[in-house]
Structure 1
């Protein structure tokens, strides 16, 4: 596929994916992890979805964090292959003031910039913006904080024609970030998403998966209906077998005793 307007987009988070979530910094925790120091000014720090750090008298704070060298190398490789990579982070465009130099990459576009709605979680805020962008293009969202077991929620929110071309990859260990196993799995999907033949396969895979889900739901409804009917039958049988008494009647039931007379 040569048309970049139809090529895949990788929307990648920073914290827990590239910038690792652990203190103190341990660079030998995982292969490729490295430490870096950077200073942030008050005006270049995100205000939404972030607690404010302890600013010094100059309105600055210095962080020392561990970073995923595997993730940084993967982004460089994606860009070399002509795949678009966008930030999908609460850092927004502030990310380009701090992280490209650390990761050895150029500044990236930010796919998540809009204001948050009242009560909206970080995940909801990201999805709201991602679903409105990149129509007709495969979208790979890489994050350590996804909608629980519903990792296909972003796909369900996109336009019907784009749902098969959507994948959410969950980084399960934010103290480690992107690993070589993550890269292999994501590259396999991107290889399919980057060709017309591969996209046809992804659409066929989604149709089969939807058919399996529909079949499971149908079997579940049938099982519930069967259980309901069996309970109703047992209830009718229990009523038929129980003694029939009138109000105030204390005489023992004679049902079933006629044969002893």
Structure 2
């Protein structure tokens, strides 16, 4: 078996990557057009205490919801179970996630990483990030897949993780369903974490981006003005919650005349959100 150092952990949420609940008034004739559906029966005595709104219970103490389970995400998760990858739940459904969703998704019982009730955390992202940084996951590569993930949530996870492991930490935002591009990106990242050379490349990428991000001064006043100009230009097009503008502007100033769309795509994956423009549209905005 591969050493834990090269055996990554993938922490997943149900909603987004794996499925979505149908609105209660949807026409059931539409279910076949959306994906495989399954009715989930929640019970009042086994329901999460935070981060999920409590439903209106029937007299018997049950609540039924119709969910669509999306094949791309669940197929990818199942493929990971046959490799040297540990898949764990980091779900707002807490310890009940296996009870309600495991069988419906055709998944075996998976470890639950987000275990406590979250009473000491103000946000769901903080609650999950704090627990993904301890115990069995502290010294291993970690991919966090979540349906509600802001720049602040990404930074929380990095802050909680050991400094030496931050280059081997990736947060992926999937709000509704996993695209082919999402699956390819996550698979490629996991492959890099499973070898010394791959981890070395991730650490070099991290060092390059960190150096650009941390620079507060520039060698000339002109370079600083150029950085402000590009950053302002980007802030008009990226999502208002995104952390993408500043590191992309730093890259533009540092590599004027030799910009690489592949590097732009990497920076976008690390600092951007799903709503941000693709790398091909961002590249022309970086010209100085």
What TM-score does the superposition give when structure 2 sets the normalisation length?
0.69
C-alpha distance in structure 1 between counterparts of 2:95 and 2:221, whole Å: 51
Q: Which residue of 2 aligns with 1:195?
A: 195
1:147 is aligned to 2:150: yes
Structure 1 pair 66/225, CA: closer, same or farther in 2 (3 Å)? closer
Structure 1 pair 221/160, CA: closer, same or farther in 2 (3 Å)? farther
Deviations along 1:68-126, one digit per CA (max 9) or x if unpaired, are 11111111100011310000011112011111111111011011012324561111111
Deviation at 1:149, TM superposition (A): 6.7
Q: After the TM superposition, which residues 38-117 of structure 1 pair with which residues of structure 2 at under 5 Å, given as runs?
A: 38-117=40-119
Given the alignment, which residue of 136, 145, 161 partners 1:158?
Answer: 161
Q: How many residues get paired?
A: 220
C-alpha distance in structure 1 between counterparts of 2:65 and 2:50, whole Å: 19
CA contact (8 A) 1:19 1:66 kept: yes
CA contact (8 A) 1:152 1:168 kept: no
- Answer with 1 or 2: which has the greater Rg: 1
The runs of 5 or more residues in structure 2 that have no matched partner are: 226-288
Structure 1 pair 137/221, CA: closer, same or farther in 2 (3 Å)? farther
CA contact (8 A) 1:87 1:111 kept: yes
The runs of 5 or more residues in structure 1 that have no matched partner are: 227-261
Structure 1 pair 18/73, CA: closer, same or farther in 2 (3 Å)? same
Give the structure with the larger helix fraction: 2
C-alpha distance in structure 1 between counterparts of 2:6 and 2:96, whole Å: 28
Q: Which residue of 1 aligns with 2:128?
A: 126
C-alpha distance in structure 2 between counterparts of 1:50 and 1:57, whole Å: 20
Deviation at 1:15, TM superposition (A): 2.0
C-alpha distance in structure 2 between counterparts of 1:221 and 1:58, whole Å: 71
Deviation at 1:63, TM superposition (A): 1.1
What TM-score does the superposition give when structure 1 sets the normalisation length?
0.76
Where relative contact order (Cα < 8 A, 6+ residues apart) is larger, the structure is 1
